[in-house]
A and B are shown apart, each in its own frame.
Chain A
Amino acid sequence: GQQVMQIPQYQHVQEGEDFTTYCNSSTTLSNIQWYKQRPGGHPVFLIQLVKSGEVKKQKRLTFQFGEAKKNSSLHITATQTTDVGTYFCAGPPGGNEKLTFGTGTRLTIIP
């Protein structure tokens, strides 16, 4: 079945440094979604990418969807303490009835 891997599993950065997490799927995706989960909270939808090579920005966050639609990345510029949490990518494993979530990247910020 489809597998969605994320690297790194953990990332510790100084406040103000940049952060990137990478997502790789074993199969081509019709779309990819990104979610953020704060410590003790539940996943919250951030964005969806649909087109090959698509790039979307949300303030300091930049999301990319690979040309082959099998990988994606999330880049945060100048991290802040509010960015702390676990970031998940997710994509439909064919059939579009459900999502397969990546393993997540946990971001911690050193003030």
Chain B
Amino acid sequence: NAGVTQTPKFRVLKTGQSMTLLCAQDMNHEYMYWYRQDPGMGLRLIHYSVGEGTTAKGEVPDGYNVSRLKKQNFLLGLESAAPSQTSVYFCASTSWGGYNEQFFGPGTRLTVL
């Protein structure tokens, strides 16, 4: 089992460009999450999904969109990247919301120039 995988691992964008980050899990988990991690800020929840076809806003959703068309995949989109979105992005999944451990992917380091 690969667990949680993320692509790409690194990306450099120019302001205004768009991109999609892909998260995939092979554990048949219902819940999936996108976090961003900035120095001294811990992990902040961007968007999450409680099942295929569902999405919900987290703590810092502005400037991001998500889709969960398949249970195993959770996509994070940036329509018009801004330097403030320079961060490390982590995807995570779990079988039961806030009651079970979350499994994290290796992260995507995004720089917006």
Contacts and interface: CB of A to CB of B under 8 A. Distances in A.
B41 A103 contact: yes
A98 B101 contact: no
Given A98-B33, A102-B42, A92 B107 contact: no
B110 to A, nearest CB: 15
Interface in B85-113: 90, 92, 96-107
B101 A33 contact: yes
A31 B98 contact: yes
Contacts, number: 68
Contacts of A104: 42
Interface residues of A, number: 27
B45 interface: yes
Contact of A99 (B40, B41, B102, B107): B102
A93 B58 CA distance: 11
Interface residues of B, number: 28
B101 A103 contact: no
Given A45-B103, A97-B48, A97-B50, A9 B40 contact: yes
A46 to B, nearest CB: 9
A39 B50 CA distance: 30
A44 B100 CA distance: 13
Nearest to B99: A96
Contacts of B45: 98-100
B90 A98 contact: no
A96 B54 CA distance: 16
Contact of B98 (A1, A9, A92, A102): A92
B42 to A, nearest CB: 4
B108 to A, nearest CB: 11
Contacts of A98: 31, 33, 45, 48, 58, 97-98
A43 B90 contact: yes
Interface of A: 1, 9, 30-31, 33, 35, 41-45, 48, 88, 90-93, 95-104
